[in-house]
Chain A
């Protein structure tokens, strides 16, 4: 494989064990997926990179059947509790129906290809699949 890969977002770490990485406040432990100037919880300014658990449970979801132009539907948007860190992501590799998706279901992080751009670079996205 000569294809170069890039993650969909900068908090997705690719490699042998793909996972999400958060900026954790060294003072209070609050976690953020984007960069922060100061902690929203305690106002301190030091952060360290931490790995987020890849296993989690579905704390909330919706099955979106009507979305913005260009966004393929249906898809399952969910909030996943990954060992105490709440993560936003789609549920993938599962039928997007209320019969197949349930609150409290166990899921794990999974990656998939978003395709290659004009220079042959492949973007990798993430979602959560039934565990």
Chain B
């Protein structure tokens, strides 16, 4: 292990689902203490804490410290939409790379069970037509000039891909959800573990065509946390810690560069493609080397475009790639063997660490029934609208 490499020393996710007896701070503390225990270290070893809770009131990092240990270390409270967890992890990674510390803790937490439609705001219907906002709108635009809600936004992302390359039918998108719901049956920490038939998925409540309810990410409660360490420090730790440590071969965060249409429909493609390219370069691996991928399937329509954006298939070839069976857990490039956001669940700020936990779990050979045998390299991807994209490539310890 090279001195300037970065490793995940400990990482956990809580059970995703409903946690009525725990608040966000309890859930975050459970994850933080779990990650420290998994790493075999304590808060005294941490030189930095980065934490996020998108729907929270801010200051989540300091609130966590009061539950797990107040040591006076710098705290970074981060907020980057659905990429918040990945941003927290990357913040800790950057602190180590900058030489400010040799160990750090990243935490993401969210309580979303029963929250309903994300992006939903009550329609404003004033009695007087008075222009307001940057578009000088005299009344609400949601529902009159397109949709502000996530299911419809991402439906359009998938349909746009279909317009460009063809073949992206309602049934195809439903089959993607079928795969993820099948995968989650092997994941005890998933919010849902019920296998769903294609018929059940297609006949479920339609939210925003072509996304039915079971093709949408599941709002739920959950937290995830990771301890990161420098390669130099890892050398001083036990053989067991070194054996279970997972190398962070690439840690990349991008925002969306200007593209013509990004003003009217968020462009989730360009920044993902740029992040992936940079990550493959950093890690010195290619998409063909990946044993598993956890990507941001906030909706079934999104998973399709990210096959292409992460270059798992040829440009324009995502439909054929999926139809080949490549992304099932038995396929060439298993995607979302955790069940993905559609079935494992999507407690927003936890997602960007939980997907890394899933990959690490397999690389450590600890994934039990759903273990991808011999997994050596994996990729975790998240995207937050606005937009922010995090891509991490992880490699099994050489020991």
**Which residues of A in the span 32-77 have a Cβ within 8 Å of any Cβ on B?**
32-35, 40-41, 58-73, 75, 77
Beyond the given pairs A78-B156, A79-B264, 12 more chain A to chain B contacts, judged by CB atoms under 8 angstroms and listed by A's residue number, are A8-B138, A10-B131, A30-B258, A60-B157, A62-B208, A64-B151, A66-B206, A70-B125, A75-B143, A79-B146, A79-B160, A117-B128
| Contacts A33-B135, A35-B134; A88 near B145 (Cβ below 8 A) | yes
Partner of B207, one of A35, A65, A69, A86: A65
- Are the C-beta atoms of A9 and B135 separated by less than 8 Å? yes
- Are the C-beta atoms of A67 and B120 separated by less than 8 Å? yes
B195 to chain A, nearest CB (A): 24
A74–B342 Cα gap in the complex (Å)? 23
Tier of interface size on chain B: 35 or more
The reply on B141 being an interface residue by CB < 8 A is yes
Chain B residues near A73: list those with CB within 8 A: 143
- Are the C-beta atoms of A67 and B137 separated by less than 8 Å? no
A69–B160 Cα gap in the complex (Å)? 27
The reply on A114 being an interface residue by CB < 8 A is yes
- Are the C-beta atoms of B145 and A89 separated by less than 8 Å? yes
Chain A residues with a Cβ under 8 A of chain B = 6-11, 30-35, 40-41, 58-73, 75, 77-79, 84-90, 98, 103-104, 114, 117-119, 121, 123, 125-127
- Are the C-beta atoms of A114 and B160 separated by less than 8 Å? no
| Contacts A67-B117, A68-B123, A75-B143; A62 near B134 (Cβ below 8 A) | no
A57–B162 Cα gap in the complex (Å)? 14
| Contacts A86-B261, A121-B129; A62 near B159 (Cβ below 8 A) | yes
Chain B residue, CB-CB nearest to A69: B122
| Contacts A9-B141, A61-B159, A103-B163; A68 near B258 (Cβ below 8 A) | no
